[in-house]
Each structure stands twice: as structure tokens, then as C-alpha cells.
Amino acid sequence: MSNKVKLISESTLQDVEYITEENKNGTKDYKIKGIFMQADIKNKNGRVYPMEILNKEVNRYNKEFIQEKRAYGELGHPEGPTVNLERASHMITALYQDGKNFIGEAKILATPMGKIVKTLMDEGAKLGVSSRGMGSLEEKDGKNYVRDDFYLATAADIVSDPSAPSAFVEGIMEGREWVWSHGALMEAELVEMKERINTKIRKKQALEQNLEFAKFLKLL
């Protein structure tokens, strides 16, 4: 089985800017801009994203998702690594490095969840963003370093949690591990269960084949 990884979520509320642009037809475009991720900085849970690892993932995310206009995020804290389009509230349109920070921009969509975000923005609610990824950690000198198996699932979900200075950690979801199975992320427990079932099926099939072969030999 592939190496197990866990869901890692990091939230920032600092320096997230609201942008509204009026269109000629009277409608408004809603956007957010701010620090989406940070590298080489120990956050409140003692986790560090090395610049080399985070920069590599941001480049991949830009190429595979943002440039292809499929970099979506959700409202709230999803429990899994994949983006549920039914809950999509915004599309990330830019993600670039600025020192140790990665600045992101996102356009709020006219989806049910996006409309909730727009209403919250109009009412002056304080919102932030939370990146979501998969990976494992290596502990060194009292810090948990994100390893090079890190996979960025989305640069930003929209959240309302209170912030800490710069960034705080939502934390690894304890008790839930994920593995890559045939190109898709699946819960490790489900994959292991499937493998156990497949093993039992193979053993049963082998036993049945041996019995059939034994019957055949008796007929000779």
C-alpha cells in the first residue's frame, strides 16, 4: 500500500482584503486577496512548510488548477482532501510568492455558497482563508516539518475562525489517514478494508479452483 498521509489545514485571517467591483449592468464582482500560505515560519502548532517544498507545490497548483480555471475552494472546513463542487464558493485566480508569504486572490462565485459569502462580506463579517493539503510530517528540533510528499488540494477555503498572528493551524485530523489509490485519494481504512476483502476473495477462488481440479483428477 502507498504511504499514508493526513489532511493538513492552515488558516490565516490576517491581511485578507475584500474587493468589490461594480459592473456596468449594476451587478458587483466580489473578490478576496491576502496571505494564503507561509513558508519557513513556525506556526502556532509548531509546523513549518519549507520554502522549497511549498514553492514546488504552488507552481504545480498554478499550472494544473489556476491556469486551467479549476482552482475552487469551499465555504467552511471540509473533512476530506477533495473539493466538493456543490459547496464551491469561490475560484482562486492568482497565487504568487512575496517573500515568505504566498499571496492569493479569489473571485466569489454566484453559487449558493458563494452568495452566502457575498452576504457576509456586505454585512461586514470578518472572514479568512484556510489552505488544505495532504502530507506527512518530520519532527526536528521541536518543530514539525512538512515533508516533500505534501500535496496542495486547495489554496483557500473560506473560514470564520479567530486568527492568531500570521497563521494558525487547524491541525491534522487525527484518526483519519489517506492513501493514493489508482490516482485518487481514499481513506486508508477503506483501502485496507478493500484489500482484505480482495485477499479473501482470491483465497476463496484459489480454494474453489483446487477443489475443481481435484474432482477432475478423480475422473481420470
- The full DSSP string for 109-136 is PSSHHHHHHHHHHHTT---EEEEEEEE-
Could you tell me which of 128, 167, 133, 3 has the C-alpha nearest to residue 61? Answer: 133
Whole-number pLDDT of residue 22: 85
Q: What is the pLDDT of residue 178?
A: 53
Query: Considering 77, 160, 166, 181, which one is annotated as catalytic?
Result: 77
Using alpha carbons only, give the angle 115, 163, 91 rounded to the nearest 5 degrees: 35
Tell me which of 130-134, 159-163, 201-205 is least confident: 159-163
Q: Is 77 a catalytic residue?
A: yes
| Model confidence band, residue 14 (pLDDT cutoffs 50, 70, 90) | low
- Residue 1 has what pLDDT? 42
C-alpha cell at 82: 477533495
pTM of the model: 0.72
pLDDT for residue 6 is more than 90:
no
Average pLDDT over residues 101-111: 95
Question: What is residue 182's predicted lDDT score, i.e. its pLDDT?
Answer: 57
CA dihedral for 54, 55, 57, 62, sign (positive or negative) = positive
Model confidence over 143-188: pLDDT tens digits? 889 999 999 999 999 987 634 333 333 333 334 555 555 555 555 5
Catalytic residue chosen out of the listed positions 11, 130, 131, 136:
130
| Amino acid in position 48 | V
Helix (H) or strand (E) run with residue 172 in it: none
Q: What is the mean pLDDT of the chain?
A: 80
**Strand order in 17-22's β-sheet?**
17-22, 28-38, 101-108, 88-98, 72-74
Q: Is the pLDDT of residue 41 over 60?
A: yes
130 annotated active-site = yes
Task: Check if the beta carbon of residue 73 is closer than 8 Å to that of residue 88.
Answer: yes
Going edge to edge, which strands form the sheet with 137-140?
Answer: 47-48, 143-146, 137-140
Lowest mean pLDDT among 106-115, 120-129, 157-166, 208-217: 157-166
Burial of 154 (0-12, 13-18, 19+ CB in 10 A): buried
Confidence of residue 90 (pLDDT cuts 50, 70, 90): very high
Q: Please compute the mean of the pLDDT values over residues 119-127 and round it to a whole number.
A: 89
Nearest-angstrom CA–CA distance, 219 and 202: 26
